[in-house]
Amino acid sequence: MPCIALAIDGGGLRGIIPVLILKHIEEKVQESTQSRRRLVNYFNIVSGTSTGGLIACGATLGTNEDTQSTKYDFDFIESIYRTRGPEIFPHETRWLVKRYNKLKNYIRPQFGKHGIETVLKDIFESTRILSCIRPIIVTTYDVSCNKPFYFSSRAAALEPDLNYS
């Protein structure tokens, strides 16, 4: 049996681009099938890298009403980028600070964790990765330890007491 995966790229504020593409595809699929079925329901697994992980989590978070309903749609996820994007990915306008940050980015991540943590807590609250309607994998970067980190619904199911925060 084939496994159909949806992989969503990162890219900071440019993450709005895959959101818009996925939203358009979902609209076309819904038109052609005469269904309100969400796009993520057509995939066996959803993965996202960095900001693509935010999209993957948002698009697959269940409502607890049934196993196919999602809490958020692509319009809501798009609004996160439009309204909270500058908080997650702050943009420096001063010339000297921009030059310093550009050099610093060679050894450290470009953005700190405060903005993304605040937004994620506001949106997802205490929701766990096991609340997603599809298995998900999120690859990201731990800015405090300066190393890659992986979240997966499978690991969460195997170790329910594991705290990712």
Please list, residue by residue across 141-154, b when 16 or more beta carbons sit within 10 angstroms of its beta carbon and e when fewer do. bebeeeeeeebbbe
Q: What span, in angstroms and rounded, lies between the C-alpha atoms of 52 and 47?
A: 8
Q: Which is it for the CA torsion 27, 63, 57, 126, positive or negative?
A: positive
| pLDDT tier, 91 (very low <50, low <70, confident <90, very high otherwise) | low
- Per-residue confidence (pLDDT) for residue 120, from 0 to 100: 76
pTM over 0.85: no
More confident of the two residues 71 and 115: 71
pLDDT per residue as tens digits for the range 28-66: 999 999 998 999 999 999 999 888 888 999 999 988 777
Residue 165 has pLDDT above 50, yes or no: no
Q: Which two tokens stand for residue 88?
A: 């997650």
